[in-house]
Amino acid sequence: MMTRRQLIGRGSQGAAVLAFGSALAPLFASPDQRRFKIGACQWSLRKDGPECFEVAKAIGLDGVQVNMGTEANNMALRQAPVQQAYIDAAKRSGLEIASLALAEFNNVPLKSDARAAAWLSDSLAVAKALNVRLVMIAAFGKGELLGDTPGIDHTVELLKQIAPHAEQAKLILGLENYLSAADNLDIIRRVGSPAVQVYYDVGNSTDKGRDIYQEIRQLKDHLCEFHAKDADSMLGQGRIDFHKVREAMDAIDFRGWIHLEAAAPHALVPDYQAQCAFLKGIFK
């Protein structure tokens, strides 16, 4: 990490980093001004449209991470009327649109499909219209990066092109994948932009046998949001010690959104109500 004096000494690049950090100051404010918020992924709420906010409100969540769309609906949130429908639904529920996700990249990979690159570019305008500051870039399924060096290289080149535009729009591009913390940090180093950060899923990393409590610490200053799941278990009843997750977050001064993407082995609303309460008991 560089001091402010060192950044200023780097001229225009340093100034850009400082300006970008200032724009996101509310997320990284002093400890007494920061807090956690608990949301859920739209797909976890099993609703493809704005009605996801009704389910989120019934659960007791603070907001929803909305999906920009699918190939089948032509990435529907690119349309202004659809955007307004989500904004209105969030307002009626009293909840927030927490962030924007590009989950369709699991089927139409950023690493190899030109359509995905165009959608990523379009997502910046969608995020601004929804008044969110984060676009999550998924890389699973057909978009898997683990063990795919050419795919990683191509992704890095695309991020180099889009990151300056994200910086200008004061947006974060959050990378969610099965890569290790070290591999994600290498991507961030190669892209060279403060707009590129890691979207950390404690369940995914546990599945890969990683020490999530150490990785969270390793990713200090490079984490934007979290997904909370633990395979097929209810949170708190599986492999992950969420009290230790909180300790790791405290160690790096992280505060922000944690989104349920957890299993609901009995029924969605009561299971998510219980898991929301569980998380809020730890991440107060």
Q: Identify the H or E element spanning 121.
A: helix 114-130
The CA distances from residue 30 to 12, 146, 219, 248, 255, in Å, are 26, 36, 19, 17, 10
Q: Name the nearest CA neighbour of 65 among 256, 253, 195.
A: 256
Q: Residue 58 belongs to what domain range?
A: 37-282
The pLDDT score that the predictor gives to residue 21 is: 53
CA distance 108 to 35: 35
Number of domains in the chain: 1
Question: What letter represents residue 178's amino acid?
Answer: Y
Answer whether residue 96 is part of any domain. yes
pLDDT in tens, 246-282: 999 999 999 999 999 999 999 999 999 999 999 999 9
The vertex-34 CA angle with 238 and 282, nearest 5°, equals 25
More confident residue, 35 or 74: 74
Residue 60 lies in a domain: yes
Domain with 116 in it: what CATH number? 3.20.20.150
Residue 106 lies in a domain: yes
CB 69: neighbour CB atoms within 10 A?
Answer: 21
Maximum distance among all Cα pairs of the chain, rounded to whole angstroms = 57
**145-171 tens-digit pLDDT:** 999 999 999 999 999 999 999 999 999
